[in-house]
């Protein structure tokens, strides 16, 4: 019986998060079950255009962070895509003693939210980071985004829930 009650509460919490309305009303409807801190202010957006994410945190509770999409306007057409920007950050860093020009490598099976880059004009690729920056699309031209190294399906009203506790 307790398992059924916990499942029902979890279902209700998810439902409350997806009620229409601004984030402040969606999060304030969550029942507080003792010693939950207040939500922090929204963080800075992970992107300036093209659909980044921002988050709020609280402590000693579950979930301890929620995400919301931000800056969802399209990026200028001449701008590098977000994954390419992240690979290009390694252009000025030596890799095994040499400098390369890096571009995204997306033909890897498995974790879509790991940053794989290939050296331009060379025949190798490397995992440059265990996770891409939050807000990176899981696939080119995809609506799903990577958050904390995991591909998350976008939901409306554009709030994503992380059920991982820091405790």
Quick: pLDDT tens for 14-52: 333 333 333 333 333 444 455 677 889 999 999 999 889
Look up the domain containing 63 and give its range: 37-79
| pTM for this prediction | 0.60
Whether residue 10 lies inside any domain: the answer is no
Residues 144 and 115 in one domain: yes
CA-to-CA separations, 107 to 83, 144, 152, in angstroms, rounded: 13, 17, 19
Question: 107: exposed, middle or buried (C-beta count within 10 Å: 0-12, 13-18, 19+)?
Answer: exposed
Whether residue 11 lies inside any domain: the answer is no
Whether residue 167 lies inside any domain: the answer is no
What pLDDT does 61 receive? Answer: 59
How many domains are contained in the chain?
A: 2
pLDDT, tens digit, for every residue of 78-100? 888 999 999 999 999 999 999 99
Residues 88 and 139 in one domain: yes
Whether residue 21 lies inside any domain: the answer is no
Residues 120 and 72 in one domain: no
């Amino acid at each position: 019986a307790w398992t059924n009650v916990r499942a029902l509460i979890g279902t209700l919490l998810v439902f409350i998060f997806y009620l229409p309305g601004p984030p402040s009303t969606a999060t304030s409807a969550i029942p507080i079950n003792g010693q939950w801190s207040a939500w922090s202010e929204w963080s800075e957006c992970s992107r300036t255009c093209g659909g980044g994410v921002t988050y709020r945190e609280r402590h000693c509770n579950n979930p301890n962070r929620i995400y919301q999409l931000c800056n969802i306007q399209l990026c200028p057409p001449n701008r590098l895509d977000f994954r390419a920007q992240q690979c290009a950050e390694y252009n000025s860093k030596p890799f095994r003693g040499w400098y390369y020009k890096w571009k995204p490598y997306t033909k890897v099976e498995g974790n879509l939210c790991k940053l794989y880059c290939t050296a331009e004009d060379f025949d190798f690729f490397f995992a440059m980071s265990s996770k891409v920056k939050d807000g990176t699309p899981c696939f080119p031209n995809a609506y799903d985004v990577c958050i904390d190294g995991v591909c998350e399906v976008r939901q409306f009203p554009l709030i994503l829930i992380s059920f991982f506790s820091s405790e």
